[in-house]
């Protein structure tokens, strides 16, 4: 611990010197070394992000400020994606005196990492917006999505009324799911809906597991708790390794939903492997699950393969 | 912080551990209450599957707060947590008038449990910030609290999200426990 912090201190003290030395010997700036040296995906994007955020060059800090503002206003990805990325690339080429034709490959690689870094930030903002949107039963779109969730999970059973005990069959707490979304708001419903819509077979299969009379769990409530897990992994940056490796271009909402679906299927397996006595074991198993997911995500080569192949019995 | 000050007051009973049990219907606000007691963020609460536990420690004094899910399916497990409870905190969503009767029945059953006999009862009439919330006096009457003779009890209006009224309830707990 002591040695580690000493090493870290020495590194930060010597970092300008190391960078200068490498620049002189390789004739490449740090961003180029990362883009040429690291494989595409999380290793490269995280390397570039580190280098950019620690840059002391005013022009680069200005680029960061500008792109942060764009992504916070949901304007990074969209109509102006190309110009936003170009702005970053052109500035770096100028400041670091990089020849655009010789380093054509750098332009492409660096541009892609910029797209990923600020796409991720924008995704964070979009996810946060959905989370802050409370479920509103007077909003027809919210209601439609909720009813759609039922249909996809239980295509053969009709919902007898909007407020009914049947909701408990898919793991809501009471007769009306609207109070169950709580702090996760519409994000919880969007996640559940996406899972049931895009992976209908897998979600029905997981639902069936959850109905086990002794050591089953409440599907929807656990789902909302997993939304909370996915949300925190995204917000604190732990999910970056997977997202940067998984999304070819900019991370978008779909990638977040798919991470959620992965977590749900994995949790289901983890739950039964943990041999729970009953539902009161949930907090412990959930925490163990989070620890195991975070350990895997700490590896920059991690990609969660969403393998929804369902064993048919 | 208000809570810290209360906990300091509780210092006079050193090394004492208190086991507080938080019960109530789903969506009553138990977890929000628990988190605000522990001065944690309350923006990201999800429905409690199973239970949560937190220890709030202050100078040799420890509050072990058990927050058990309120969903009907989980209520049969409540009894597993009864033993050695020092104070029962029962949380009510004052704005959920439709379920006041249901919450009353659950409370009545709880109080008739042998393991709970004589355990002091604090009722939080939560969500007072909502427009249509029933006042604490009305809830007390509805629950028939005035007929309770076998234990100390108190009803406290509060809003766990706004942090209002919680302190007063905790002060009552500290007074009641000291008397014992």
Residue A312 is predicted with a pLDDT of: 43
The reply to whether B93 sits in an annotated binding site is no
Between chain A and chain B, the number of residue pairs with CB atoms below 8 A apart is 69
Q: Does A51 share its domain with A156?
A: no
Å from A121 to nearest chain B CA? 20
Q: Does A201 share its domain with A280?
A: yes
DSSP assignment of A114-161: HHHHHHHHHHHHHHHHHHHS---TT-HHHHHHHHHHHHHH-TTS----
Tell which of A131, A156, A176 closes a domain.
A131
Active site includes B105?
Answer: no
- What would the mean pLDDT of B32-58 be, rounded to a whole number? 89
Whether residue B115 has pLDDT greater than 90: yes
Distances from the Cα of A116 to the Cα of A71, A88, A119, A128, A191, angstroms: 11, 13, 5, 18, 22
Contacts of residue B142, Cβ cutoff 8 Å, sequence gap at least 6: B100, B101, B104, B134
Range of the domain at A190: 136-298
B77 Cβ under 8 Å from any chain A Cβ: yes
Q: How far apart are CA B136 and CA B148, in angstroms?
A: 16
B71 Cβ under 8 Å from any chain A Cβ: yes
Q: Does A127 share its domain with A145?
A: no
Residue A5 is predicted with a pLDDT of: 84
Residue B11 is predicted with a pLDDT of: 55
- What would the mean pLDDT of A129-155 be, rounded to a whole number? 97
- What would the mean pLDDT of A141-146 be, rounded to a whole number? 97
Q: Does A65 share its domain with A182?
A: no
Of the partner residues B46, B49, B51, the one whose CB lies closest to the CB of residue A182: B46
Range of the domain at B19: 3-179
Which has the closest alpha carbon to B112: B100, B122, B104? B104
The enclosing domain of B22 has a CATH number of 3.40.50.300
Count how many Cα atoms sit within 13 Å of the Cα of residue B172 in the half-sphere of its side chain. Answer: 19
CA torsion angle B168 B169 B174 B179 (round to 10): 110
Percent of chain A past pLDDT 70, that is, above it, reads 97
User: What DSSP character marks residue B164?
Assistant: B
The interface predicted TM-score (ipTM) is 0.85
How many structural domains are present in chain A?
2
Query: Side by side, which strands form the sheet with B51-58?
Result: B51-58, B61-68, B17-23, B87-93, B121-126, B153-157
Split at pLDDT 50, 70, 90, the class of B8 is low
Whether residue A233 has pLDDT greater than 80: yes
**Residues 9-38, chain B: which have Cβ within 8 Å of A?**
26-27
Q: How far apart are CA B128 and CA B116, in angstroms?
A: 28
User: Is the Cβ pair B71, A182 closer than 8 Å?
Assistant: no
Residue B57 is predicted with a pLDDT of: 66
Q: Does A49 share its domain with A180?
A: no
Cβ contact A285:A274 at 8 Å: yes
| Residues of A whose CB is below 8 A from B45 | 182-183
């Amino acid at each position: 611990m002591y040695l580690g912090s000493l090493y870290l201190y020495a590194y930060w003290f010597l970092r300008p010197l190391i960078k200068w030395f490498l620049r002189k010997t390789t004739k490449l700036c740090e961003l180029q070394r990362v883009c040429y040296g690291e494989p595409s995906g999380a290793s490269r994007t995280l390397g570039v992000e580190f280098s950019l955020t620690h840059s002391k060059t005013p022009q680069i800090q200005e680029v960061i400020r500008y792109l942060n503002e764009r992504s916070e206003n949901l304007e990074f990805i969209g109509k102006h994606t190309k110009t936003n990325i170009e702005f970053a690339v052109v500035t770096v080429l100028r400041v670091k005196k990089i020849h655009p034709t010789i380093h054509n490959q750098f332009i492409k690689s660096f541009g892609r990492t910029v797209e990923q870094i600020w796409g991720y930030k924008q995704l964070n903002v979009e996810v946060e917006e959905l989370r802050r949107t409370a479920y509103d039963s007077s909003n027809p779109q919210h209601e439609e999505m909720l009813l759609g969730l039922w249909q996809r999970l239980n295509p053969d059973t009709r919902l007898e009324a909007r407020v009914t005990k049947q909701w408990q069959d898919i793991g809501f707490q009471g007769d009306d799911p609207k109070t169950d979304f709580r702090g996760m708001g519409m994000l919880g419903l969007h996640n559940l809906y996406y899972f049931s819509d895009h992976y209908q077979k897998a979600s029905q299969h997981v639902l069936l597991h959850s109905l086990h009379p002794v050591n089953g769990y409440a599907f929807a409530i656990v789902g909302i708790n997993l939304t909370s897990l996915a949300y925190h992994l995204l917000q604190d940056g732990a999910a970056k390794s997977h997202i940067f490796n998984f999304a070819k271009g900019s991370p978008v909402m779909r990638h977040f939903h798919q991470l959620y679906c992965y977590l749900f299927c994995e949790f289901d397996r983890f739950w039964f492997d943990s041999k729970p006595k009953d539902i009161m074991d949930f907090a412990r198993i959930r925490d163990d699950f989070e620890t195991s997911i975070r350990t895997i995500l700490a590896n920059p080569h991690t990609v969660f393969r969403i393998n929804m192949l369902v064993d048919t019995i | 912080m208000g809570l810290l000050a209360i906990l300091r007051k509780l210092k006079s009973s050193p090394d004492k551990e208190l086991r507080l049990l938080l019960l109530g219907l789903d969506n009553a606000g138990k977890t929000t209450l628990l988190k605000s007691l522990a001065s944690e963020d309350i923006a990201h609460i999800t429905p409690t599957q199973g239970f949560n536990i937190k220890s709030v420690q202050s100078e040799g004094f420890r509050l072990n707060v058990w927050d058990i899910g309120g969903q009907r399916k989980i209520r049969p497990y409540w009894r597993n947590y009864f033993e050695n409870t020092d104070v029962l905190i029962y949380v009510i969503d004052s704005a959920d008038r439709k379920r006041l009767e249901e919450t009353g029945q659950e409370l009545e059953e709880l109080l008739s449990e042998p393991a709970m006999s004589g355990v002091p009862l604090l009722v939080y009439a939560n969500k007072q910030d909502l427009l249509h919330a029933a006042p604490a006096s009305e809830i007390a009457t509805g629950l028939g609290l005035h007929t309770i003779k076998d234990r100390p009890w108190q009803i406290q209006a509060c809003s766990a999200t706004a942090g209002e009224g919680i302190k007063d309830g905790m002060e009552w707990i500290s007074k009641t426990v000291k008397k014992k």
